[in-house]
Amino acid sequence: MDCSHLVYRMATGFLLCSLLWSVMEAADRRDPSEFDARRRVRTAEQLLDAGEHDRAVTALQAVIEQFPESQVRFHAHLLLGKDLLLRQQDSAASIEHFRRAGGIRSLATDDRPLAGDDLDLWLESQHMIGVAYYQAGNYGESFSVLRRITVDYPNSVWANHSYYYIGMAHFMQQNWGRAIRYLEMVGTFVDPSGPEAELIEAGQRIFARVEDADLPIMERLNMQAEVEISTSSGDRVVVPLIALSRSTGTYIASAPTAVGPVIPNDDVLQVLSGDQINIRYVDANTATGEANVVRERTAQVVSTGSVAFTDATWHARSRNAFIGQPVFIVVEDADLSTSDEANEASVVVVSQFREDSDQPVDLLDEDGVPVGPRWRIRDEVRMSLREVRDSEHGGVYRTGRFQGSLHLVEGEENAGTRTVLRTVPGDRLLVTYIDELHAGGAFQRTVEASINVAGRYTGGLQQVGGDLEEVVDGARKSIIESRAYLELARIFTDMGLTDGAKGQVEEGLDRVNSVIRTEALPEDLIQQAFVLRWDKQILIGDMPGAIATCRAFNQRFPESRYADLALLRIGQALIQTGDYAQAREVLNAIVALDDEDALAEAQFLIAQAIEAEAGRLEPAIPTYRAIATNYPQSRFAGDALGRLIQYNIDAGDFITATDMLRTVFEQYPDKDWLDRMLVRWAVMAFRQGDYDLSLRKAQRLLMEYPDSSQAALMRQLITRIAERRDRAARSGAN
In this structure, the answer to whether residues 265 and 392 fall within a common structural domain is no
For residue 330, give the nearest of 351, 345, 350, 352 by alpha carbon. 345
> Is a pLDDT exceeding 50 seen at residue 16?
no
pLDDT confidence of residue 1: 44
Q: Over the stretch 698-708, which tens digit does the pLDDT of each residue have?
A: 888 887 777 77
231 pLDDT band, cuts 50/70/90, is very high
Alpha helices, DSSP H, located in 448-579: 470-494, 498-516, 523-539, 543-556, 562-576
pLDDT confidence of residue 558: 66
Domain membership of residue 36 (yes or no) is yes
413 pLDDT band, cuts 50/70/90, is low
User: Is 660 in contact with 697 (CB distance < 8 Å)?
Assistant: no
Domain membership of residue 72 (yes or no) is yes
> Is a pLDDT exceeding 90 seen at residue 235?
yes
In this structure, the answer to whether residues 323 and 274 fall within a common structural domain is no
- Residue 500: CATH number of its domain: 1.20.58
Q: For CA atoms 504, 507, 511, 517, give the dihedral sign.
A: positive
- Residue 113: CATH number of its domain: 1.25.40.10
Residue 447 pairs in a beta bridge with 433
Distance separating alpha carbons of residues 263 and 279, to the nearest angstrom = 19
User: Is 11 in contact with 204 (CB distance < 8 Å)?
Assistant: yes
In this structure, the answer to whether residues 176 and 203 fall within a common structural domain is no
Domain membership of residue 168 (yes or no) is yes
User: Is 304 in contact with 15 (CB distance < 8 Å)?
Assistant: yes
Domain membership of residue 675 (yes or no) is no
With pLDDT > 70 as the criterion, what percentage of the chain qualifies? 84
Q: Over the stretch 606-655, which tens digit does the pLDDT of each residue have?
A: 888 888 888 888 888 888 888 878 877 777 777 888 888 888 888 888 88
**Residue where one domain finishes, among candidates 121, 149, 183:** 183
In this structure, the answer to whether residues 146 and 237 fall within a common structural domain is no
Distance separating alpha carbons of residues 657 and 680, to the nearest angstrom = 10
β-strand pairing of 401-410 with 242-245: unpaired
356 pLDDT band, cuts 50/70/90, is low
Domain membership of residue 13 (yes or no) is yes
Alpha helices, DSSP H, located in 560-651: 562-576, 580-591, 596-614, 621-630, 635-650
**Residue where one domain finishes, among candidates 183, 216, 247:** 183
pLDDT confidence of residue 363: 46
In this structure, the answer to whether residues 41 and 132 fall within a common structural domain is yes
Of 406 and 12, which is predicted with more confidence? 406
Per the structure, the count of domains in the chain is: 4
Q: Where are the beta strands (DSSP E) in 85-235?
A: 199-201, 206-211, 226-231
**Residue where one domain finishes, among candidates 244, 274, 302:** 302
In DSSP notation, 633-648 reads: TSHHHHHHHHHHHHHH
In this structure, the answer to whether residues 380 and 476 fall within a common structural domain is no
Summarize the confidence of residues 431-448 as an average pLDDT: 87
431 pLDDT band, cuts 50/70/90, is very high
In this structure, the answer to whether residues 311 and 451 fall within a common structural domain is yes
What is the pTM (predicted TM-score) of this model? 0.46
pLDDT confidence of residue 632: 75
In this structure, the answer to whether residues 310 and 298 fall within a common structural domain is no
Domain membership of residue 485 (yes or no) is yes
β-strand pairing of 291-302 with 276-285: antiparallel
In this structure, the answer to whether residues 437 and 529 fall within a common structural domain is no
In this structure, the answer to whether residues 439 and 314 fall within a common structural domain is yes
In this structure, the answer to whether residues 448 and 335 fall within a common structural domain is yes
Q: Which domain holds residue 514?
A: 468-560
Q: Over the stretch 449-496, which tens digit does the pLDDT of each residue have?
A: 888 887 776 544 333 333 445 677 778 788 888 888 888 888 887 777
Phi-psi domain of 113 (left: phi exceeds 0; alpha: psi -120 through 50; beta: other): beta
In this structure, the answer to whether residues 295 and 336 fall within a common structural domain is no
Domain membership of residue 540 (yes or no) is yes
- Residue 327: CATH number of its domain: 2.60.40
Domain membership of residue 385 (yes or no) is yes
732 pLDDT band, cuts 50/70/90, is low
User: CA torsion 515→516→517→520, rounded to 10°?
Assistant: 70
Q: Over the stretch 32-75, which tens digit does the pLDDT of each residue have?
A: 677 788 888 888 888 887 778 888 888 898 888 888 888 899 99
